């Protein structure tokens, strides 16, 4: 989840800030850091370490949408402990809301459409989300609706606006609503994925561009999120109407393997480095590692060194900061 702007885009960004009243945070350019976490073994300590190493926001993943788009699923155990640990350590907390479906093992476009196309479904889910965030003690909510379609654009704008109003009413005027957005270098692809950038921007305090999963098990081997691709995705978002100072650059703390017997699941950075051994090769151009193993598997991964160059990129582009997925896979590196 990065950018440099043209004069026209900069003017649009300033206008959006004035019209919307969004806070965009008070962090200096490039200094914001979000770390994502899911309940699980070692998660509490990862959260404390992340805040100690400079994380300003902890995104706690756990609010899931039902397959029919009408309500939230039961929250997993341990969300409150993670929110409490982050808050006690001094970080702001966000509750992540997603359309990931255990039924299909992926993000569900049908669930997203069922939610976003229905005013009553939106109202019900918004109410449940703010109830859950309030009960957990979270400081805000992040929308993580993925694999959407062009038909979802207007509904997503409405949902973001309605959620922001409800969050402010329940959690206070300083509470934030953000979004995790699938990254692209093509303006048309943002629209086809359900994102109307200019219309969404006034209703969001931050946009986390998921500048990872450029390649994965669904594609041929390649970079998880190469620096040139990341830079272009950020600039495309800015030119589309997202203010640079509200953007976070997404950073992967993992990699993938391709080839004989390769598992489709992400591989933690440390595990990928262990597998690669002395075959590991660093790419200055891409800001990532790669290796070809003796058994024919090809690895690509992002680690602490990748994180550092993306922090530099965020500062260079004048964006809000970076966001690491996820603390469960890799600890937040020391800055």
DSSP code per residue over 77-142: TTHHHHHHHHHHHT-EEEEEEE-EETTTTEE-HHHHHHHHT-HHHHHHHHHHHHHHHHHHT-SEEE
Round to whole Å and give the CA distance between 134 and 122: 18
pTM: predicted TM-score of the whole model, two decimal places: 0.91
The confidence score (pLDDT) of residue 16 equals 36
Enumerate the domain spans of the chain.
7-21+30-253+303-325
pLDDT digits (tens, 9 = 90+) for 161-209: 999 999 999 999 999 999 999 999 999 999 999 999 999 999 999 999 9
Is the per-residue pLDDT at 335 higher than 90? no
Q: C-alpha 2: how far from its chain's center?
A: 12
Provide mean pLDDT across the span 124-145: 98
Give the Å distances, CA to CA, from 164 to 141, 197, 205. Answer: 9, 16, 9
For domain 7-21+30-253+303-325, give the CATH number: 3.20.20.80
Residues 6 or more apart in contact with residue 114 via CB below 8 angstroms: 68, 69, 70, 121
Mean pLDDT, residues 310-328: 98
Integer distance in angstroms from the first to the last C-alpha of the chain? Answer: 18
Percent of the residues in the chain that have a pLDDT greater than 70, as a whole number:
92
**Measured distance CA(41)–CA(56) in Å, rounded:** 22
Q: What is the pLDDT of residues 236-274, one digit of tens each?
A: 999 999 999 999 999 999 999 999 999 999 999 999 999
**Residue 248, SS3?**
strand
């Amino acid at each position: 989840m990065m950018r440099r702007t043209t004069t026209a885009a900069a003017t649009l960004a300033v206008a959006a800030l004035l019209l919307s009243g969004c806070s965009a945070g008070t962090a200096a350019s490039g200094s914001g850091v979000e770390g994502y976490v899911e309940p699980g073994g070692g998660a509490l300590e990862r959260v404390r370490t992340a805040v100690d190493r400079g994380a300003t926001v902890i995104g706690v993943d756990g609010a899931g949408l039902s397959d029919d788009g009408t309500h939230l699923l039961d929250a997993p155990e341990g969300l409150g402990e993670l929110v409490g640990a982050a808050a006690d350590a001094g970080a702001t907390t966000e509750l992540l809301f997603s359309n990931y479906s255990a039924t299909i093992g992926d993000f569900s476009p049908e669930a997203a459409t069922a939610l976003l196309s229905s005013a009553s479904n939106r109202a019900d889910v918004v109410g449940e989300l703010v109830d859950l965030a309030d009960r957990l003690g979270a400081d805000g909510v992040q929308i993580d609706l993925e694999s959407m379609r062009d038909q979802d654009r207007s509904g997503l704008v409405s949902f973001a606006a309605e959620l922001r109003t409800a969050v402010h009413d329940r959690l206070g005027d300083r509470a934030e609503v953000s979004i995790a957005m699938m990254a692209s270098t093509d303006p048309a692809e943002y629209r086809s994925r359900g994102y109307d950038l200019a219309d969404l921007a006034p209703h969001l305090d931050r946009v986390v561009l998921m500048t990872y999963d450029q390649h994965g098990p669904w594609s041929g081997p390649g970079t998880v999120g190469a620096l040139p691709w990341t830079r272009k995705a950020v600039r495309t978002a800015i030119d589309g109407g997202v203010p640079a100072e509200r953007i976070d650059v997404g950073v992967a703390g993992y990699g993938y393997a391709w080839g004989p017997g390769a598992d489709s699941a992400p591989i933690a950075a440390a595990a990928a480095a262990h597998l690669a051994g002395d075959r590991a090769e660093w790419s200055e151009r891409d800001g990532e590692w790669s290796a070809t193993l003796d058994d024919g598997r090809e690895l690509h991964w992002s680690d602490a060194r990748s994180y550092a160059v993306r922090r530099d990129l965020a500062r260079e582009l004048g964006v809000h900061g970076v966001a690491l997925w996820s603390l469960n896979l890799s600890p937040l590196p020391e800055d």
